[in-house]
Amino acid sequence: MGSHNGTNQDPQKGEEPSEVIGRRMGVRVLRVRKEGMFSEAWFWLAGIFVVAGVVTREIGFTALAACLLTIVLVSWAWNRCALVGLEYHRHFDRQRVFPGETVRMTIEVINRKVLPLSWVRFEDELPLALDPIELRLTPSATSERTGLLRSAFSMRWYQRVRRSYQLHCRQRGHYYLGPVKAESGDLFSLFTTQADWLVRDWIVVYPQIWPLEDLGLTTRAPFGEQRTRRSLVQDPVLIQGIRDYHPEDGFRHVHWKASARRGELQTRVYQPTTDMHLMVALNVATMPKIWMGVRPALLERAVVVAASIANYAAEHRWTFGLLSNGVPRSDQPIKIWPSRSPDQLLLVLEALAGVTAFATSSVEALLTAECPRIPLGATLVLVTAIINDDLLATLIQLHEAGRRIVLVSLADHDPLGEETPTLAAALDGIVVHHLPADARAFRSRVLTELTIAGTLAGIPVPEPVGRVS
């Protein structure tokens, strides 16, 4: 379980907001407001009691005036220290999940001072897509996409209070929690202090992942037959056995323990494997023209397909990467170059989790600009919901240049169907898949537990990923 406060960094690092006015107990303070029921009438009332006591020579009026002034002074001092030494933390059992899963969030409030608090209230700003189970968020006045999680406590000196909530993660995305508004004051509420704390945390909801057959893709050579002229290389992870050392062998392959046992140098023998390179390209455009709008359901289907293909490549230990003209909180396209790193799938899924419908450029322009950097012999898998003349011309040009192209279409009509005979002829030599809207994966909204468990088992959990470049 991790602990998070206002000093933590988001997955996408950014500069400290300009509205931050200071820090208190390590928490960045956005603004402080002081309110309450106190007014100058309290001093006028105390003065009237003093005058009445002098005129009537009744000590009771003077004592009453002293009591009023004492209450005001104590309340003012209490309010000044109310938020001092007060901490607000969020703890999560996990911060990377799939749609339909829940995250256990625990709110922890700590009063690190001798002064008790008769009351303290918090308003925590949460995304509506992470709505707590059995609890409704209060609408937020700042954004239609966020709500307020309200909580109130009465705390003794040096007390620590915790409350837990189950957050239901309904939709893919990068979600940021905070800021938090804290409010407290004196026992009589004559004075109150409100402060906005920049206590930020994050939760990443990955796109859904499905087996290729559930998407409508054939499981036998879905990305074309591998060419036999492709050289076989040794997989340094799959060890087949050992043999005697030869002069041409490198020392990095020497099995030192086996050499010590046999009394002579032994070298590892690795299993040969075909080095398959795959570059997944995602087109976030769902309409022929940008000004025509977006089809959100179609975009989500495209993201699911791209994530599932990346997962398939990771399961087969292929070298794979990702290109997309969609942007996750930046003005640059997604470019994750092919790799077999253990955390490659995590990088791809986290990038796809933040994909938006805003396109930095057309996908054909992106492919033309970035294809020279893709290794020769790699298979380019384009996932797109629309096919226009410019995209078709780009794919044909890349194919004629020797690139292996696989087109995964989510368009309304099959590119190889009878309705488009000209298009089918133009795509000769390019592997084409058309995924119907009624595929099993698109009919269901929740991942099976087996699929989630199988995917999570192969994903490491490093620190949050920064900007992809």
CATH number at residue 423: 3.40.50
Task: Say which CATH number the domain at 161 has.
Answer: 2.60.40.10
Which amino acid appears at position 234 of this protein? Q
Please check the confidence at residue 140 and state whether its pLDDT lies above 80: yes
Please state, in angstroms and as integers, the Cα–Cα distance from residue 163 to each residue in 66, 93, 127, 295, following that order.
42, 14, 19, 39
Residue 38 has pLDDT above 50, yes or no: yes
In this structure, is residue 66 part of a structural domain? no
Q: What is the pLDDT of residue 231?
A: 42
- Same domain assignment for residues 352 and 279: yes
- Domain-embedded: residue 106: yes
Question: Same domain for 239 and 293?
Answer: no
Is residue 68 domain-resident? no
Q: For CA atoms 314, 317, 318, 320, give the dihedral sign.
A: positive
Which among 222, 206, 278, 218 is positioned nearest to 439, based on CA atoms?
218
Euclidean distance between CA atoms 391 and 362, whole angstroms? 9
| 308 found inside a domain | yes
Residues 258 and 334 in one domain: no
* One domain for residues 444 and 357: yes
Number of independent structural domains in the chain = 3
Same domain for 441 and 300? yes
d(Cα 113, Cα 295) in Å, to the nearest integer?
54
Mean pLDDT of 434-450: 67
Does residue 157 contact residue 116 with C-beta atoms inside 8 Å?
A: yes
In a domain, 77, yes or no: no
| Whether the predicted pLDDT of 86 surpasses 90 | yes
Residue 306 confidence class, pLDDT cut points 50, 70, 90 = very high
* pLDDT band at residue 450 under the 50/70/90 scheme: very low
The model's pLDDT over 334-343, given as tens digits with 9 standing for 90+, comes to: 999 999 998 9
- In this structure, the answer to whether residues 347 and 282 fall within a common structural domain is yes
pLDDT of residue 40: 67
Q: Where a domain ends, among 205, 220, 249?
A: 205
Considering only residues 443 and 154, tell me which one the structure prediction assigns the higher pLDDT.
Answer: 154
321 and 255 in a common domain: no
Give the pLDDT band of residue 302 (cuts 50, 70, 90): very high
Residue 229 predicted with pLDDT over 50: no
Q: Are residues 297 and 164 in the same domain?
A: no
In a domain, 467, yes or no: no
Q: How far apart are CA 353 and CA 97, in angstroms?
A: 10
Q: Is residue 118 part of a domain?
A: yes
* Domain extent for 451: 212-228+275-457
Closest CA to 89 of 166, 171, 14, 182: 182
Answer yes or no: is pLDDT of 234 > 60: no
Do 215 and 362 contact (CB within 8 A), yes or no?
Answer: no
**What does the pLDDT look like over 331-385, one tens digit per residue?**
789 999 999 998 999 999 999 999 998 888 899 999 999 998 998 889 999 999 9
Q: In the prediction, which pLDDT does 246 show?
A: 81
Domain co-membership, 348 together with 245: no
Q: Are 156 and 239 contained in the same domain?
A: no
Same domain, 344 and 240: no
Instruction: Mark whether 28 and 163 lie in a shared domain.
Output: yes
Which pLDDT band holds residue 127 (cuts at 50, 70, 90)?
very high
Residue 337, burial from CB neighbour count under 10 angstroms (0-12, 13-18, 19+): middle
Is position 53 within any domain?
no
